[in-house]
Amino acid sequence: MAASSTENRDSANPLPPSRVPTEEKEVQGYAQPADKSAPDRLEQAGTSSKLSDEALFLRGDKESLEVLVNRYQQTLYGLLVHVTGDASLAEDLFQEAFVRAVRGAKTFDRNRSFKSWVTAIALNLVRDEVRKRKLRGEIPLGEGGPEEQAAAGDQPRESAERQDEVARVRGALFELTEKEREIVLLHFYQGLTLGEAAEVLNVPLGTAKSRLHGALVRLKGLLRSEWP
């Protein structure tokens, strides 16, 4: 597990690109053979920073991967912090999600958004971690001690009152079921549409809608008890 903490991580740039697979043997040419001409075509469309996530991923080079990682440092890493309640574990899972995305590039469906695909990979890693902790009889995710909870929500520039509000909302989120918490975080924190969230969770759109509605009703009740 990574030894760094949020105290050493710039809040505007929480995870440096060097922390994901950037060695030539791991990254260079990971795109499908059919995409060999993609770099030339996409260079004509603009610089890497202006390309879509999908176009960058299909280029299959180190520079494009680093741009992608930079784009997801806030949203995906932040999502993992909220889901796990553990900043260090979230960092490890963020790195592993991109490692698996690179290794599984040939299975990427071009009709699917990269955001929903890499998010699904990350959530599957979280679920694997949950299962492992249960088998080992360890503390469940989200129920760590004060140090872990503080690190997960570390925002030194925020007022004490704001930090208290954030802590209460996080506490309420962990009162939800795993399925409820995931749909809330995917839609409101990760910014996925309900259609994209349904794709990530591999459920029908109607199920995603009803799950979100139920989660919000329950969350509202939990927060009302916190702020009567």
Residues 167 and 149 in one domain: no
Last residue of a domain, one of 157, 186, 218: 157
Residues 83 and 142 in one domain: yes
Residues 36 and 55 in one domain: yes
Task: State the pLDDT at residue 51.
Answer: 87
- Among 12-16, 59-63, 70-74, the minimum mean pLDDT is found in 12-16
Residues 119 and 210 in one domain: no
- The count of structural domains within the chain is 2
Q: Is the pLDDT at 78 greater than 80, yes or no?
A: yes
Sign of the Cα pseudo-torsion (163, 169, 172, 173, in order): negative
Compute the CA torsion angle 35, 40, 43, 45 (nearest 10 deg).
Answer: -80
Compute the CA torsion angle 147, 153, 157, 160 (nearest 10 deg).
Answer: -80
Domain of 43, in residue numbers? 1-157
The reported pTM is 0.70
CATH number of the domain within which 89 lies:
1.10.1740.10
CA dist 125 and 189 (Å) reads 18
Residues 147 and 217 in one domain: no
CA dist 2 and 89 (Å) reads 8
Residues 46 and 120 in one domain: yes
Residues 174 and 211 in one domain: yes
Residues 224 and 125 in one domain: no
Give the length of the chain. 228
Read off the pLDDT band of 47 (50, 70, 90): low
